[in-house]
């Protein structure tokens, strides 16, 4: 701890957000009755615990916002007081304190509510969206190349088969890419993200209905696996995305996990369908005609 004045100390720790080092600082104040107040608690290592134990008993912890409460679990709470687990014989009470803090948090925000700050939650998902977004972007480009090199008739957008099966596959890749970009934008709050996801999901469900994929599947006597991969599973993915939007808007912790699962599922669907379409295009005659999809 760094002493700034009589009965006043600070503890500084490294802290990263979106790959940037911003740092964090806890203020330690010894009150007139000898008790100690911690403002913006940071992670407590053994040295800081001993130093806190030396200056007095920690009775008050102030977490001013949802970012600065992240390490409050290192402080053990008891009725009317909050005591730092600073002595070696009491280190195990840090875990009990974290459990009690979690229980207090659930009581404040509701069972299953998001208890971390929105930027911190996005940071945890950053690498995931970099991977799925990059994969979707690369595969979208490959789809353009494959279609442009395919049989001449395949590029006619008026083809009902293309509109019902080929174009939606590209749209699936684009959906994953757009969601990854939205989730990587640090200036968007959870409400804005939730509204964008809800509007996009509803729009995509309307789009899937408008391309009449089910009608094309029935008229061309395609098998049930085609119906599953091209019609049913994409609808499930967008419904899951819509549910994730509602969960994020309501600040339910499962929202981000549900959204990540929906995007991964949609990416797998698009990859499967893209490969299926590549195999189908290789079977088309090169003279300019195509067999209906």
Q: Hunting for tokens 């640090």 — which residue is that?
A: 186
pTM for the model stands at: 0.59
Return the pLDDT at 50: 84
Compute the half-sphere exposure of residue 87: CA atoms within 13 Å on the CB side of its CA: 9
Three-state DSSP state, 163: helix
Cα distance between residue 289 and residue 271, in whole Å: 26
Specify the pLDDT at position 110. 47
Q: pLDDT of 97-128, one tens digit each?
A: 444 344 444 444 444 555 467 887 888 899 99
Q: 42-59: per-residue pLDDT in tens?
A: 888 888 888 888 888 888
> Look-up: residue for tokens 């929105």?
118
Let me know: does 216 contact 293? Beta carbons within 8 Å.
Answer: yes
In angstroms, the CA 149 to CA 160 distance is: 20
Position 169 scores a pLDDT of 92
Query: Which residues of the chain register pLDDT less than 70?
Result: 17-19, 65-70, 73-116, 150-162, 284-293
- Cα angle 116, 119, 124 (rounded to 5 degrees) comes to 75
Task: State residue 85's pLDDT score.
Answer: 37
Q: Supply the pLDDT for residue 286.
A: 61
CA angle 237, 140, 156 (to 5 degrees): 100
| Contacting residues for 232 by C-beta, under 8 A, at least 6 apart | none
Q: Domain residues of the chain, as ranges?
A: 2-109, 118-282
Sequence-separated (6 or more) residues with CB below 8 Å from residue 292: 159, 160, 161, 220
pLDDT of amino acid 253: 80
Residue 162: the pLDDT is 65
What pLDDT is attached to residue 123? 85
Q: Which residues, in sequence order, are bridge partners of residue 21?
A: 16
């Amino acid at each position: 701890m760094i002493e700034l004045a009589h009965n006043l100390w600070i503890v500084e720790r490294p802290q990263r957000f979106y790959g940037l080092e911003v740092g964090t600082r806890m203020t330690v104040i010894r009150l007139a009755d000898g008790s100690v107040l911690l403002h913006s608690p940071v992670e407590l290592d053994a040295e800081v615990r001993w130093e806190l134990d030396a200056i007095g008993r920690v009775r008050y912890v102030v977490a001013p916002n949802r970012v600065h409460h992240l390490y409050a679990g290192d402080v053990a709470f008891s009725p009317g007081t909050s005591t730092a687990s600073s002595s070696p014989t009491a280190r195990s009470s840090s875990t009990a304190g974290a459990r009690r803090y979690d229980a207090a948090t659930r009581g404040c925000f509701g069972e299953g509510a998001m208890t971390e700050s929105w930027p911190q939650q996005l940071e945890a998902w950053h690498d995931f969206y970099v991977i799925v977004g990059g994969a979707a972007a690369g595969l979208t480009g490959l789809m353009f190349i494959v279609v442009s090199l395919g049989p001449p008739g395949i590029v006619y957008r008026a083809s009902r088969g293309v509109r019902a099966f080929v174009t939606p596959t590209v749209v699936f890749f684009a959906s994953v890419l757009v969601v990854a970009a939205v989730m990587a934008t640090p200036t968007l709050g959870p409400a804005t993200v939730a509204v964008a996801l809800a509007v996009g999901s509803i729009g995509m469900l309307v789009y899937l209905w408008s391309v009449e994929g089910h009608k094309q599947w029935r008229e061309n006597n395609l098998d049930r696996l085609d119906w599953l991969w091209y019609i049913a599973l994409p609808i499930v993915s967008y419904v899951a995305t819509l549910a994730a939007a509602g969960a994020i808007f309501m600040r339910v912790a499962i929202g981000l996990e549900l959204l990540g699962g929906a995007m991964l599922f949609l990416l797998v669907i698009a990859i499967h369908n893209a490969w299926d379409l590549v195999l189908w295009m290789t079977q088309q005659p090169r003279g300019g005609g195509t067999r209906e999809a």
